[in-house]
């Protein structure tokens, strides 16, 4: 009974893993396919992996998401397997939402906090069976998970390298998957999970994504990963399938109003400056906090902060005059008082608006919404043009597409 820690590796296993230093930036299992498609040679470091920033054209890749099918390698995403008789109870104690309402074969977007109620990360919690969960996230949390598992009958394993992932996003993705032999995919509702046969094993498909569009995420045993890519690629031609890099995905996720840990907020365990940590209510995740369920990490602190009005910040969507993206711009009230910072900004090709995610210091963005401005320094041919543009707080997502939730989805 009780906590199961992963066994320490044997000498032989350790020695077999020594060679990692010969390749500082790891390859994902899909690297042979990405390398073959790579034309721009714009790589970036995603959690120690060599990942494409763009593959052939940053601008055009975005339109594969919104018009056809886009394939994005999500293998570097950190994954934990949480399994055992107490897995539900453990996850319910760990995270903000009510996990007892999450049925097997469903996934939900959630977040988890430390005892001060500060957000450690956000991510997706997959309930694969009654007693088996998978937590997908940006940062690493094994010590936090294992420490928190004390007293629960669960096993927790980090399985980032063992499980590979692909995001398939865009209006033709359902049709593409049907053509690739994923029979019955059209009955999958948003946040449903289903296993499909692949080779001698299975691939786990969820109707999820990071684009606000129709789309799926496919998780597979790393040993069978390449053949999954090939299966999608072979079927994808008629559906306009293109591989994309992070730049295109980032544009789509901002349109969808989705936040990225350590880009739009600083996670509690990485913050060097104590005042950078954020409550769920300060980064737009207040809706997740389920006070109707039992105890969970950070509950008391969140309740106290709400009671005492201690949530100092608010994360909002902004629509900004003009067409110059306001990356990292300071937000002002009455063009004078600094009240916040833009953390992500783009010209939205789909909304045809200049949009941004910003963190403002309350009451700005909360009860004071008028007379907000952003100061944009536009560098043009070695000269800054300083723009002071009016910003309006608007609801997120900036782009809402009916096809994201429509079941069965259309063919395009």
The residues of the shown chain that bind another protein, judged by CB under 8 A, are 5-6, 8-9, 11, 13-15, 17-22, 24-26, 45, 47-48, 116, 140-143, 146, 158, 269-272, 274
Q: For residues 146 and 351, which CB has a smaller minimum distance to another protein in the complex?
A: 146
Reduced to 3 states (helix: H, G, I; strand: E, B; else coil), residue 215 is strand
Q: For residues 120 and 355, which CB has a smaller minimum distance to another protein in the complex?
A: 120
Q: How far apart are CA 137 and CA 46, in angstroms?
A: 13
8 A C-beta contact, residue 95 and residue 89: no
381: tokens are 């041919």
8 A C-beta contact, residue 166 and residue 71: yes
**Closest separation in Å from C-beta 45 to another protein:** 8
**Closest separation in Å from C-beta 388 to another protein:** 26
Q: Residue 135: which of 145, 148, 149, 147 has the closest Cα?
A: 145
**Closest separation in Å from C-beta 21 to another protein:** 6
Alpha-carbon Rg for the chain, nearest whole angstrom, is 22
Q: For residues 40 and 270, which CB has a smaller minimum distance to another protein in the complex?
A: 270
**Closest separation in Å from C-beta 277 to another protein:** 9
**Closest separation in Å from C-beta 26 to another protein:** 7
**Closest separation in Å from C-beta 66 to another protein:** 32
Checking phi first, is residue 257 left (phi over 0); if not, alpha (psi -120 to 50) or beta? left
409: tokens are 């989805």
8 A C-beta contact, residue 69 and residue 239: yes
Q: How far apart are CA 205 and CA 217, in angstroms?
A: 6
Q: For residues 67 and 116, which CB has a smaller minimum distance to another protein in the complex?
A: 116
Q: For residues 8 and 379, which CB has a smaller minimum distance to another protein in the complex?
A: 8
Q: For residues 341 and 368, which CB has a smaller minimum distance to another protein in the complex?
A: 341
């Amino acid at each position: 009974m009780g906590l199961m820690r992963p066994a320490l590796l044997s000498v032989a296993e350790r020695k077999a893993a020594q060679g990692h230093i010969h390749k500082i930036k790891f390859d994902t299992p899909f690297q042979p396919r990405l390398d073959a498609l790579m034309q721009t040679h714009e790589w970036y470091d995603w959690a120690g992996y060599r990942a494409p920033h763009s593959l052939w054209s940053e601008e055009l890749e975005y339109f594969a998401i919104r018009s056809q099918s886009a394939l994005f390698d999500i293998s570097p995403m950190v994954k934990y397997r949480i399994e055992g008789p107490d897995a539900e109870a453990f996850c319910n104690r760990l995270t903000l939402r009510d996990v007892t309402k999450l049925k097997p074969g469903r996934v939900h977007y959630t977040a988890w906090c430390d005892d001060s109620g500060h957000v450690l990360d956000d991510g997706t919690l997959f309930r694969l069976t009654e007693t088996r969960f998978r937590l997908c996230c940006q940062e690493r949390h094994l010590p936090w998970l294992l420490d928190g598992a004390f007293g629960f009958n669960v096993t927790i394993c980090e399985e980032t390298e063992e499980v590979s992932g692909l995001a398939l996003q865009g209006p033709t993705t359902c049709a593409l998957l049907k053509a690739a032999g994923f029979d019955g995919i059209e009955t999958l509702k948003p946040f449903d999970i289903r296993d499909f046969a692949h080779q001698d094993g299975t691939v786990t498909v969820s109707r999820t994504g990071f684009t606000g569009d129709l789309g799926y995420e496919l998780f597979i045993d790393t040993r069978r990963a390449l053949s999954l890519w090939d299966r999608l690629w072979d079927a994808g031609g008629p559906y306009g399938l293109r591989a994309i890099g992070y730049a295109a995905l980032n544009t789509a996720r901002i349109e969808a109003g989705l936040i990225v840990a350590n880009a739009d907020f600083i996670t509690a365990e990485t913050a060097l400056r104590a005042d950078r940590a954020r409550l769920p209510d300060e980064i737009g995740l207040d809706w997740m906090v389920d006070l109707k369920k039992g105890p969970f990490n950070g509950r008391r602190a969140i309740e106290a902060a709400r009671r005492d009005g201690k949530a100092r910040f608010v994360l909002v969507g902004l629509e900004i005059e003009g067409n110059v993206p306001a990356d990292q711009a300071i937000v002002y009230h009455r063009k004078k008082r600094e009240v916040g910072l833009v953390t992500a900004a783009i010209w939205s090709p789909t909304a045809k608006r200049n949009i941004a995610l910003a963190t403002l210091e309350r009451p700005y963005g909360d009860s004071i919404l008028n007379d907000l401005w952003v100061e944009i320094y536009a560098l043009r041919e070695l000269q800054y043009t300083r723009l002071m543009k009016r910003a309006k707080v608007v609801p997120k997502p900036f782009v809402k597409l009916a096809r994201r939730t429509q079941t069965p989805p259309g063919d395009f």
